[in-house]
Structure 1
Amino acid sequence: MIDWSGTAIWWQVYPLGFVGAEPSRLPAGRLEHRLPDVSWLDHLISLGCNGLLLGPIFESESHGYDTVDHLAIDRRLGDDHDFDRLVAAAHDRGIRVLLDGVFNHLGRAHPRVRAAVQDGPDSEAGRWLRWTERDGQPVPDNFEGHDRLVALNHDHPPVAELVTGVLDRWLQRGVDGWRLDAAYQVPAAFWAGVLPVIRERHPQAWFVGEMIHGDYAGYAAASGLDSITQYELWKAIWSSINDHNFFELSWALQRHADFVAAFQPLTFIGNHDVTRIASMITDERHLPHAVALLFFLPGVPSVYYGDGDGLPGVKEDRLGGDDAIRPAFPPTPDQLTPAVDGLPDLYRQLIAVRRRHRYLADATVDVELLEDERLVLAASGRAADESVLRLILNLSDEPLSTDSSAGDAVLAASAPGRPPGDVEPHGWCILAAE
């Protein structure tokens, strides 16, 4: 395990949206210095986070996942100097920096793609891409039907050389690791060949692969990745809360325990690809329950920018359907008005609990009470002197009283003045056992 990964709590930002950048790349000669102002790093710290997970920052055609140059900062965001300044400011504050790398596909305007289309699949450029047939003619394959996203041929050795060079270059520039976009589309053997080379040069670099479904543990083992995005848990959290069906979450926690035993999953209740949690949870009274689960359960938590303020946003399956979940932010945090009163303080409180109990990153979680609308989870660490923490969730219209000792400490609660283990309707609490 990477020495620092178990204590990481990421604040994820989608830079092109955050700074209100133009929807497509700038004309040659134009440059905007817009990388997030360092004042937001202090906001990140104020929440209790210690990692900055940056969405795509490389030169691209439009949304950042259609890369045209992996070695250049997108001119809508800035240049190398802006990047170096941001990384230095983060590291000065003890903040790790993670970059988002798109290595499954290229933007159609990438020079390699243009040359391949011109010269054909048997050319040197053509061998960089995967090809399919359309109307009897070979055409570059694409990513999940998106014609502007052209799939790389990961069996072609120069592709591995390119990816190795890109990972190495930005790690040398100071970043601490990578989120690997659409990792599930890339053969695990490809990463198994690339990552050992990188780890020899950067032994403390951390790599998380994006997987939506599939064999998480098997892919992590075969690829050598440190972490996988835990979409199964994300779905179970909001779905079980909305449906008043904690049995779904209990089943997902069994799977989650198997993953935690094999690797440390990246956990989240929101990111740049899904409807925001404040819009996903149908009863606002239960939004804190989702937040409490995120910071109580093992894994490496990630907070999507704006979720800590309760911002709404619905993802839609249409052109521009991501805009609502990738909004522009004001220049400074004091200009942002929370959409849900008290939510920023709740995030701070729950993150503080997690940081005081570091064993939660790989804790054993047992289900002590399981009903449709009521759940009690107990998290324990490996050391004998580590206290057992209990998370009590109540979605019902009736109060919930558990068999808790009067000496138990209430670490966080929706109604802090109540006795330990006594939870009001639609309430929650975290207890430390006596």
Structure 2
Amino acid sequence: MSTHDSNDWWRDAVVYQIYPRSFADSNGDGDGDLNGVTDRLDYLKELGVDAIWLSPFYPSPQADGGYDVADYCAVDPRFGDMADFDRLVAEAHARGIRVIIDIVPNHTSYLHPWFREAIAAEPGSPARDRYVFRRGRGEHGELPPTNWLSNFGGSAWEPCGDGWYYLHLFAREQPDLNWDNPEVRAEFLRVLRFWCDRGVDGFRIDVSHGLAKDLRDPLRDRPDPTVLGPQADDGSDPLWDRDEVHAIYRAWRRLFDEYMPAKYAIGESWHPFSPRIFQYARQDELGAVFDFSLQKAAWGRDIYREVIARTWDYARQAATAPTWVLGNHDVPRVASRIGLPVGADIDTWVTSDGTDPAVDPVAAQRRARAAALIMLGLPGTAFIYQGEELGLPEDFDLTPDQLRDPNWERSGHRFKGRDGCRVPLPWTADGPAFGFNDTGAAWLPQPDWYAGYAASAQDGVDGSILSLYRRAVGLRREWVARGADTAMTWLDDPSEPQLLSWRLPSGLTVAVNCSADRGLPMPEHNRVLVSSAADWRDGDDPAELAPETAVWLA
């Protein structure tokens, strides 16, 4: 492989997340597939990424976008077969691109053979002990065992019809596993080894903070069931971020370290920020963890300064590299979300009745371009969600009858869900399905305005956001890489409260004007390496840093 060969290749990597169903469709059935990914590897190589992360491609009824897995060691026929997966890994490696896959250990699909066996078995049977079954409260078990709520709305307990219930912290089609059961722990070690032996380079661990649960009898209620995350910093919540989960990951790390180079792993933890999340990044556990603070932050100098400094400091204390994320398959696209008025609640508009939120599309695109240089200018591991490099906004055109996300129904039609960031990508400005396939079929409809964001419309075009990403990723190797192992220096200027700026040991200065309407003097420099301004061209050296613009300065 042409990139790092050491165990810490990921510490300065750019990872590109692929949602396979929406990336590229090679057979025209409307669903993206593994061969579609393989066909686009040269595009990803030109983008300059070090690794791809594949969201689940396992057999699944798709009750939750593939995160309801029916078989952890197979490929869903809609995405191809195992030969297609092996070819994808081989072709990616031939281009110096590593492959990371999703593992979903908190729950299975209700169609998993284990759960089918469990639901048909008697209470107290070994088959049921692989999951979390409890008898309901009340004289006849007519009440759920606890007040626990599902992340998708409603009770987290599904009745079995005989006074017994099973736990599902997400959709009812996703029964939670019982990680106190040794058989469950052994099975996932087998699954991980299966994929390690097939050549994958790492794993993204879904709901990494949710495996261990307090299942003492009687089960205890949560203090506030509407707060779907830990309510105490000591990990005492019965559902989330419990100390017991770390023993699971220490066993996983021992397996990962049997390989050379060691397999990469990163935990997903969505609960409100706590320094405890960095415990997952300890080197005898997963080694890395997502901190979504940058993704959650509204546009603004002070909040960016705060979350960047915090993530940086806690990652350094944990001897890991910080991770930086602007978007993924679970949140509205950054090119819309970041266009909300400064100070607005970034979550309120996703609970709308279907009308467009108060997003300024011009400001959103300007800020999204600047945010790309912020993220890529930070030492550590940077994650790009498919379509961010095209500047794709959220698709608000989806009608209620087109929505697939279980959030829509479970929330009583208050939360439209995540479909708007999962619409199949536009590769060409014209033609069937904008180049997603040759037939025009798409599992979610694509809006007409996609044509202006297509990869073909931006390829080689000065000032396009695709050209910006390609240039920044290329420059990052020289100017940002390995910075996580050294230091970054803040260049605070009390006279300019809208200027966000830092310097790296390479001599790179990142400067961002967070003001919406006022230009700032350009910081001292020798030359401008790249600017997020759409009218900037290589060699330009403006005297002023325009509003909502970021630059990299040598």
Instruction: Give the TM-score normalised by structure 1.
Output: 0.86
Match of residue 205 from structure 1: 263
Higher mean alpha-carbon deviation, 194-203 vs 250-259, is at 194-203
Contact 1:13 1:53 in 2 (8 A): yes
Match of residue 464 from structure 2: 342
Contact 1:375 1:393 in 2 (8 A): yes
Higher mean alpha-carbon deviation, 206-215 vs 170-179, is at 206-215
CA-based RMSD = 2.8
Separation in structure 1 between the aligned mates of residue 247 and residue 61 of structure 2, nearest angstrom: 29
Shift in Å, 1:314: 5.4
Shift in Å, 1:251: 1.4
Match of residue 429 from structure 1: 551
What one-letter code is carried by the residue in structure 2 that aligns with 1:318? W
Superposition map of 1:276-295 within 5 A? 276-282=333-339, 283=363, 284-295=365-376
Separation in structure 2 between the aligned mates of residue 311 and residue 326 of structure 1, nearest angstrom: 11
Match of residue 88 from structure 1: 90
Shift in Å, 1:132: 3.6
Superposition map of 1:258-407 within 5 A? 258-261=313-316, 262=318, 263-282=320-339, 283=363, 284-313=365-394, 317-319=407-409, 321-329=417-425, 335=435, 337=451, 339=453, 342-357=464-479, 358-362=481-485, 364-369=487-492, 374-381=498-505, 386-405=506-525
Q: Higher strand fraction: Structure 1 or Structure 2? A: 1
- Gap regions ≥5 residues in structure 1: 27-31
Q: Give aligned-pair identity as a percent.
A: 30
Q: Higher helix fraction: Structure 1 or Structure 2? A: 1
- Gap regions ≥5 residues in structure 2: 1-5, 142-162, 212-244, 340-362, 397-404, 410-415, 437-450
Contact 1:98 1:176 in 2 (8 A): yes
Match of residue 59 from structure 2: 59
Match of residue 36 from structure 1: 36
Separation in structure 2 between the aligned mates of residue 376 and residue 15 of structure 1, nearest angstrom: 36
Shift in Å, 1:52: 1.1
Separation in structure 1 between the aligned mates of residue 427 and residue 541 of structure 2, nearest angstrom: 43
Higher mean alpha-carbon deviation, 96-105 vs 336-345, is at 336-345
Contact 1:103 1:181 in 2 (8 A): yes
Contact 2:69 2:109 in 1 (8 A): yes
Contact 1:178 1:206 in 2 (8 A): yes
Separation in structure 1 between the aligned mates of residue 379 and residue 277 of structure 2, nearest angstrom: 16
What one-letter code is carried by the residue in structure 1 that aligns with 2:321? Q
Shift in Å, 1:69: 0.5
Match of residue 29 from structure 1: none
What one-letter code is carried by the residue in structure 1 that aligns with 2:22? G
Distance 1:374 1:33, change over 3 A: closer
Distance 1:370 1:66, change over 3 A: farther
Shift in Å, 1:193: 2.2
Shift in Å, 1:16: 2.1
Matched, 1:138 2:199: no
Deviations 1:379-427 (A, max 9, x none): 323xxxx32433333424222115514xx22111224566477312333
Shift in Å, 1:180: 0.6
Separation in structure 1 between the aligned mates of residue 46 and residue 548 of structure 2, nearest angstrom: 28
Separation in structure 2 between the aligned mates of residue 429 and residue 325 of structure 1, nearest angstrom: 27
SS at match of 1:302: strand
Between Structure 1 and Structure 2, how many residues are aligned? 411
Match of residue 306 from structure 2: 251
Contact 2:336 2:394 in 1 (8 A): yes
Deviations 1:348-397 (A, max 9, x none): 1111221112123445333323678622322323xxxx324333334242
SS at match of 1:285: helix
Deviations 1:21-58 (A, max 9, x none): 99xxx9xxxxx975424231111111111211100011
SS at match of 1:162: helix
Distance 1:266 1:134, change over 3 A: farther
Instruction: Give the TM-score normalised by structure 2.
Output: 0.68
What one-letter code is carried by the residue in structure 2 that aligns with 1:59? P
Contact 1:84 1:173 in 2 (8 A): yes
Distance 1:121 1:249, change over 3 A: farther
